[in-house]
Chains A and B, each alone.
Chain A
Amino acid sequence: MRRTKFIFACVLVMAVIGTAGAQGAGKKAVPFKFGFSIWGTSDGHGRYVTEATKWAVKAMGGDLVIDTGALSPDAQITSIENLIQAGCKIVSFCAYTGDACIPKIAQLCKDNGVYFVIWDTDITDPKVKQIVEANPYYVGNTNEDQFSTGYDGVAQLAKLGVKNLVLVKYGIGVATCDDREKGALKAAQEKGIKIAYTIIAPEDAKKAMQDVLVSHPEVDGLFVLGGTESYLSPMNSAIAAAGKSGKVRIASIDFSDAMKGMFASKSLDLIYGGHIVTSTFAALMAVNAYYKTPLSAKPYKVHIPYLKLTSSAESEAYYSLVVGSVPPYNADELKKFVKYYNDGLTLDSFQKMVSQYSISDIQARHR
């Protein structure tokens, strides 16, 4: 009898443990409206980032509400107002128009009890940061490591034998571009690469490159620090027209539709981008807060890795596995990023899983 009781107790304990372990799988999604504010969906990045947010919200059982047209601080605020008015309990935006309007957005969210998260940007103004981080509804932000990407780009070009490099900046006083440049300059100094010329936000990219090739015939490397969609293809055609294809090694940051053809013709050596999951993970950070299972008591930042493509095969993998018909993460994989479904989740493990985002990681999971 005693033995029977013991076995029964053991079974009961195991059942309880088993239930706890399988808690995530059995839990029902709590419906919510998720507001997504973006500048537009007609460009590649805007379109893919919106799609990438849809994966997360859909997997969590939420309903995505989109507002396009957040092109100025005023429009950004209008966008958030509309999303809150539409009944959204979480809003997500890119501080594309700068930091200064974020305190107003933070106040709107606080007044309406709405969680908010920022993707693809950092708050750089310390005054704004202090105001926003004091807001209980601010979850945090996602961003990429621009300095390291700039550094790595030049380091990779150095390995390819580049000695005289042309840098292309897409703006002056743009924090993202400046950080990438700082990284590039540090690597150039360390690797003994000479910056032959820096082209800044050219209106006619082809002409600008032609001029540089004439004035600096020693140039053997090109690193586009952003604005790739506008610059890469015209600059490559200037290089080809000068008969220097393959002699001038090319690297770039931010994906462009031109990269597929350029990898095929072997005129592109390296490109960083594909960080469309920046909004996916921002959404999941906010969902954790909405479910009252925040990953941190304070606002936090999650680093999103860039995808690094170096060949035609990797480029094809990107188009089929990342922005193809099947998202790089399925619903079950996305649920692992939410504590409500994954009890053991911590901020560290969240960041660790995010850091694994790469073409090889996606290929492994899709097998």
Chain B
Amino acid sequence: MAKIKPRVKVPKKAEAGEVITIKALISHPMESGRRKDKKTGKLIPRKIINRFTCDFVGASQSGNVIDVQLEPAISTNPYFQFEAKVPESGEFRFKWVEDGGAVYELAKKIAVG
């Protein structure tokens, strides 16, 4: 299986209160549970990323940006693009939760000023 690797794109700098665009992608097969193994004819068990969250953590202000619930109808290598407000310097924390409870995390710092 291909390695599961999260990637995000966040600007390094922003003005206070600015709205920035964030792109997040994780390489993941998103096995829908409906595909059959060609050799054995058996169903391949479902294994998808079922939740994706992005939170901002700063010195005085923290908060959730987006919380997505994913179903098997999301494509392989789930990709999201969304906007976030930057109240101050801090970091954006990203979290992907896989079926079975495995968690993949990534954080990106952003500087205000």
Do they bind each other?
no
